[in-house]
Each structure stands twice: as structure tokens, then as C-alpha cells.
Structure 1
Amino acid sequence: MKLQQLRYVAEIAKQGNHLSAAAEALNTSQPGVSRQIQVLEGELGVDIFRRTRNRIIGLTEPGEHVLAIAKRVTADVATLRSLKMDLEALDQGQMVIATTHTQARYVLPNIVVNFIKRYPKVELILKQGDPETICAMVEDGEADFSVGPETQRSFPELLRLQGNEISRIVVGPKGHSIFSEPELTYENLAAHPLIAYDARYSGRWKVMEAFQRAGCTPRFALSAIDADVSKTYALLDLGLAILTNAAYNPAQDIGLEARDASHLFAPSTTTITLRPTSYIRPYVLEFISSLSEKLTLKAVRSALKSAIARD
């Protein structure tokens, strides 16, 4: 068994089971990739991929386990290769954060500014995506950690740390009738078209769960993954936007008004995910500890140690 073969398995799955795309990403030939996969399957005595007419269409049940191992091994090898450099240069290098738009735009800027002042030799890279995509980036070794809301899909290979809670608000154009209501209720909200986050975000499914419990059926005029897009259309009076309170700044959001909705909708919890088996550089730990008062260096190190012990 070769490390290269495990890389091939991981890349084929990443490329949606397209051999040609995997071969191109790996800078090798498609027949070479196919041959090495067959050799690995022969050595293991199981089929890793399901095929039809010589086309890969998915993973077999044993293949799911092989892929999980392949991802872990290739990520750990990449970590080992960078370990020597990291140990020699504790205050420089690269830190890749996978995060959502709301976090990158509204929550992280001041934290990033302070971090760069402290570590000017560290190149910080922000990769954006929906909550599940950013966790997958960490799982695949494409990011050091992720910062975002909860996900419905579990990521058993990752360590999850809970940060601050972010409550919800209703945002609309100034003078909208919703802001003169004596009390904000599910019923008076459902009487207006709404703008909410895409279904991949907790900001959507938590809102839907709340309406369902109240026996109300809201009408959504627009779904978006971007708070700025939501506010743009709210300003055009297309609907009332249900957003996190971090996404609204009265000094910048001219023409808009906001109202607290924390009594109607459950908050989102900022979640940080890491690969517990990888080497976490000291400045990465320091950045994570700056995300919440309860994420002290001691607490983060203890959580990592516990996660490694469980593995």
C-alpha cells in the first residue's frame, strides 16, 4: 500500500468521482490513477468504488471507511511535512481560516486586525463557504480551522468548540409597519414577506422550527447566504430580513431599521472546528482563544488533549 494510492482515493471523492478531474488535479494520467486504485483494491480485497460501464459512480460501504482513513492519513502527512518549518518559525507562516460571510464581514475584522499586529509575519487566508463546506475544508486539510454556525451534518473526525451565541433581529426599511407594532410576534411577522438565510444555515432552519412550533406558515420572498445581499433587498422593501444581530450596524446601514427578535428565535452558536490529530501552531491557538472569553488557551488545549485521548 502506498501513500500515493490513498491520495488518489481522496482526490477522486473530492472531484465528485470524476477520474479525469482527479488525474488533472494530481498532475498525472487518468489510466495511472485507475491502475493504482485497482492495485489498492486488490491488496485490500474489497472494491472501494462502485462502477457502472467502467465509470465510477460512488463509494462502496468499505470504500467509505477507506476514504475516511485516506483523508486522515494524507492530512497528517501534510502536517508532518510542515511541522519542522513551524517549529523553527513560531511567529511566522500561514494560517487558513474557513468561515462564513457573516463571520468574515462582521465578527472577525477587529480580531484579525489585532492578530496581524501581533504576528505581522503570518499570512492569513480567509476561505468562505456555507457552514458544512467550511467544516469539510478543515476535514480535508484545506484549512487550519473553521468559524461558523452549527451544522446539521455531523463531522465526527473534527473537534467542535463552542464560542459566543449570536441572537437574531428583524431588519427592514425605516418606517416599516413592523417597527410600530407594540409587540413583535410570529403572527405579525408572518403577515409580511420575509428574507432569510439559505437552508444550509442554522439561521434558516431555526427560524422555520420556531414558526412551525407557533403554528404559523411564513412566506419567504428570498433566500440568501449573504447578509449584505439580504439587507440590499430589504432596503428595496422586498421583505423583512431575519439576520444575526452582528450583521446590522445603524451607522452604516442607512435607510434600514432593526428590531430585536431574540424572544422568537433561538440564537446561533459560533462553532470552531479543528482536526484534533494535527499539529496546531501556537499562534493558531491564540487566534482561536481570542474568539470568545470562554475559549481560553487552557480550555482549548484541554479539549484537544481530550479529543486525542478518545481517538
Structure 2
Amino acid sequence: MNLHQFRFVQEAVRRNLNLTETAKALFTSQPGISKAILELEEELGIDIFVRHGKRLTRVTEPGQDVLRSVDVIMREIANLKRIGEEFSKQDSGRLSIAATHTQARYVLPEPITQLRKRFPKVQVSLHQGTPEQVARMLLDDTADIGLATESLADFEDLVTLPCYEWQHVVVLPLEHPLAAVERLSLEQLAAEPLISYHPSFTGRSRIDQAFAQRRLSTNIALEAIDSDVIKTYVRAGLGVGIVAEMSMRHEPAGGDLISKPAGHLFGSNTSRVAFRKGAYLRSYVLTLAELISDRLSRSLIERAMLGHGDDYSL
């Protein structure tokens, strides 16, 4: 057995058993991959894959167990590389971050700026996606750390920790009649065309639940994943916006929009930071987590990575 065989098996599953795509991804030949997998199966004495001719069709039951072991082995190989890098180059490397648009646009700029001041040789790579895509990037080892509000806690192979709470706000043009209302109600909002997030983003599920619990129908004029887009269409007069409060923090004083608190309508949301279970976290990854939230500490994260973080809450 060797690491090439393990890598071929793992990548074949990632590529939906398409050996042509697997060969392209690994810069090798399809016959070479097929031969290596067959040799591994022969050495183990089991079939990892079911075949139809030369084509792989599915993973066998013992093959599932083999894949789990291969994942552990390859994860530890990656950890060994990180440990070597950590101690050979203490203050340099590459940090890959996965986050939703709201986190990347409004939460991460200051922590990343501070991180770069402390670790100027660290190259930061920022990936944006849906909450589920953020989770997948962590699981695929594309990202070292992830930040989102939804979905992260639903993946058992991730270690997730709550880092801060936030609420929605209602965004209105200054001349809108509701701008003069001190405390908005769901009934008032239900009577307006609404502009808010796509259902899988930024606490949108809480908004829908609040209206549903009151049996109120809503007129969703537009959905977007970007708070700036929502504000743009509010300015255009398309409707009333519902956005995350952090997206309004840097709006200029005396501007053309006004925001109204909506925590009493939609409750609080919790953003979470996440890591892949078993991953070795380099010093600057832990530092970034601490910069994102003062409730996260290096020792707390390390305890959580060892399986002792279930009792932590905001």
C-alpha cells in the first residue's frame, strides 16, 4: 500500500467515480489510476468499487470502511505537513478562509487587517459561498477556517463554535412612512414589498418563521445574497429591506437610508466559526479566530478540537 493509491481512491470518489476527471485533477493517466486501485484492492483482498466493464459505478460496503480509513490517513498526512511548516516557518504560510458574503464583507476586514499586521508573511485567500459551500470547503481541506450563520453546526465532521450574536434591521428610505415609526410590527412589514436575503443566507429562515407564526403573508419583491444589493434596491424604491445589522454600521451619517431595529421581530442570530475535525491549526489560524471574537481563545479552540467544546455557548 502507498499514499498514491490512497490519493487515487479518495480523488475518484470526489470526482463521482469518473476516472478521466480524476486523472486530470491529479495530473496522471487514467490507466495508471485504474491499475493502482486494482493493486490496492488485490492487496486488501476486497473490492472497493463495483465496476461495469472498466467504469466504476459505486462504492462497495467494505469500500466505505476503506474510504473512512483513507480519509483519516490523508488528513494526518496533511497535518504532518502543517506541523513541519509551522516549525520551519513560524510566521509565514497560506491561510485559506471560507465565509458567506456578509461575513466576508462586514465582519472579516478588520480581523484580517490585524492578522496581516501580526503575520505580514502570511498570504490570505478568501473564498465566498453559501453556508453549505463554506462547510464543504472545510471538509475538502480547501479552507482552514470557516465563518457563517447557517448550516455549519449540521456537519458532524466539523468543530463549530459560536462567536458572536447579531440581529436584523429594517432598512428604509428617509422619506418612507415607516421611517417615523419608533417600533415596527410584523403586520406593518407584511403590508410592504420586502427585499431580503435568499432563504439559505444570513438568518432568512428566522424572518420567514416569524411571519409564519403570525400567519402573515409576505410580498417578497426581491431576494439577494448581498446586503449592498438589497440596499441598492431599497434606494431605488423597490421595497423595504431586511438586512444584518453589521451591514449598516458603516453607512454615512445623514445618508439617504435609515435602519430600524428588528430584533424584537426576528430574534437573535448566532454566527459560528468552524474547523475540520482532526485538522492541525497553525498559530495564525488560531489568532484569526481570536480576532474575530473576543469570546474565542486559543485554549478554548484547542479543547474543542479535542472533543471538549460541547459545553461552550455565548
Of 68-77 and 229-238, more deviation after overlay is shown by 68-77
Q: Hey, what does 1:294 align to over in structure 2?
A: 295
Shift of residue 252, structure 1, vs aligned partner: 7.9
The equivalent residue for 2:2 is 2
Q: Which residue of 2 aligns with 1:274?
A: 275
2-structure distance, mates of 1:63, 1:186: 53
Aligned residue for 2:191? 191
1:27-46 to 2 correspondence within 5 Å?
27-40=27-40, 43=44, 45-46=46-47
CA contact (8 A) 2:193 2:239 kept: yes
SS at match of 2:305: helix
1:124 corresponds in structure 2 to: 124
Mapped to 2, the partners of 1:202 and 1:116 lie a distance apart of: 27
Q: Which amino acid aligns with 2:298?
A: L
Query: For 1:14-36, what per-residue CA distance to the aligned partner results, in whole angstroms no more than 9, with x for missing partners?
Result: 33444322221111223333444
- Deviation track 1:33-75 (CA, whole Å, cap 9, x = no partner) reads 34444554563634546x6786556656665555444444323
Q: CA deviation at 1:295?
A: 0.8
> Deviation of residue 307 (structure 1)?
5.1
Q: Partners in 2 of 1:91 and 1:81 — Cα distance?
A: 15
SS in 1 for 2:138: helix
C-alpha displacement at 1:164, in angstroms?
A: 0.4
Relative to the length of structure 2, the TM-score reads: 0.86
Partner of 1:207: 207
Amino acid at match of 1:15: R
How has the CA–CA distance of structure 1 residues 83 and 196 changed in structure 2, closer, same or farther, with 3 Å as cutoff? same
Q: Deviations over 1:218-250 (max 9, x none)?
A: 222222222122222222222322211001132
Matches within 5 A, 1:136-155: 136-151=136-151, 154-155=154-155
Letter in 1 for 2:227: A
- Show the counterpart of 1:88: 88
Aligned equivalent of 2:165: 165
Could you say which residue in structure 1 is the equivalent of 2:312?
none
Partners in 2 of 1:152 and 1:115 — Cα distance? 24
**How many angstroms apart in 1 are the aligned matches of 2:187 and 2:25?**
52
- Cα distance change on mapping 1:238 and 1:305 into 2, 3 Å: same
1:134 aligned onto 2:144:
no
Identity of counterpart residues, as a percentage?
Answer: 35
Q: Which position in structure 1 is the counterpart of 2:229?
A: 229
Give the 3-state SS of the residue equivalent to 2:252 in structure 1: coil
Counterparts in 2 of 1:179 and 1:277: CA distance versus 1, 3 Å: same
Q: Which amino acid aligns with 2:116?
A: I
Structure 2 gap segments, 5+ residues each? 310-314
Compared CA separation, residues 64 and 174, structure 1 to 2 (3 A): farther
Q: Distance between the aligned counterparts of 2:152 and 2:276, measured in 1?
A: 19
1: CA distance, partners of 2:253 / 2:64: 48
Contact 1:158–1:275 under 8 Å retained in 2? yes
Give the structure-1-normalised TM-score.
0.87
Do 1:90 and 1:283's aligned partners in 2 also have CA atoms closer than 8 Å? no
- 2:306 is matched with 305
Q: Which amino acid aligns with 1:135?
A: A
Residue 121 and residue 62 in structure 1: after superposition, are their counterparts in 2 closer, same or farther (change >3 A)? same
Root-mean-square deviation over aligned CA pairs: 2.7
Measured in 1, the distance between the counterparts of 2:6 and 2:47 equals 14
Quote the Cα distance in structure 2 between the aligned partners of 1:198 and 1:159. 26
Distance 2:198 2:58 in 1: 27
Cα gap change, 1:272 to 1:44, in 2 (>3 Å)? farther
Structure 2 Cα separation of the partners of residues 258 and 25 of structure 1: 48
Q: Which letter maps to 2:258?
A: E
Matched-pair contact (CA < 8 Å) for 1:196–1:203: no
The amino acid across from 1:74 in the alignment is M
**CA separation in 2, counterparts of 1:57 and 1:172?**
54
* Total equivalences in the alignment: 307
Counterpart Cα distance in 2 of 1:189 and 1:13:
48
Q: For 1:98, what is the secondary structure of its paired residue? A: strand
* Structure 1 residues 79 and 270, CA gap change in structure 2 (3 angstroms): same
Shift in CA distance, 219/29, structure 1 to aligned 2, threshold 3 Å: farther
Aligned partner of 2:100 in structure 1 is: 100
Tell me if structure 2 keeps the 8 A contact 1:139–1:158.
yes
The Cα offsets for residues 170-224 of structure 1, whole Å up to 9 and x where unpaired, read as 1233322232335312221111222222222252212112211121122222222
Which runs of 5 or more structure 1 residues have no equivalent in the other structure?
A: none
Q: Which moved more, 1:254-263 or 1:297-306?
A: 297-306
**Distance in 1, Cα, partners of 2:30 & 2:296:** 46
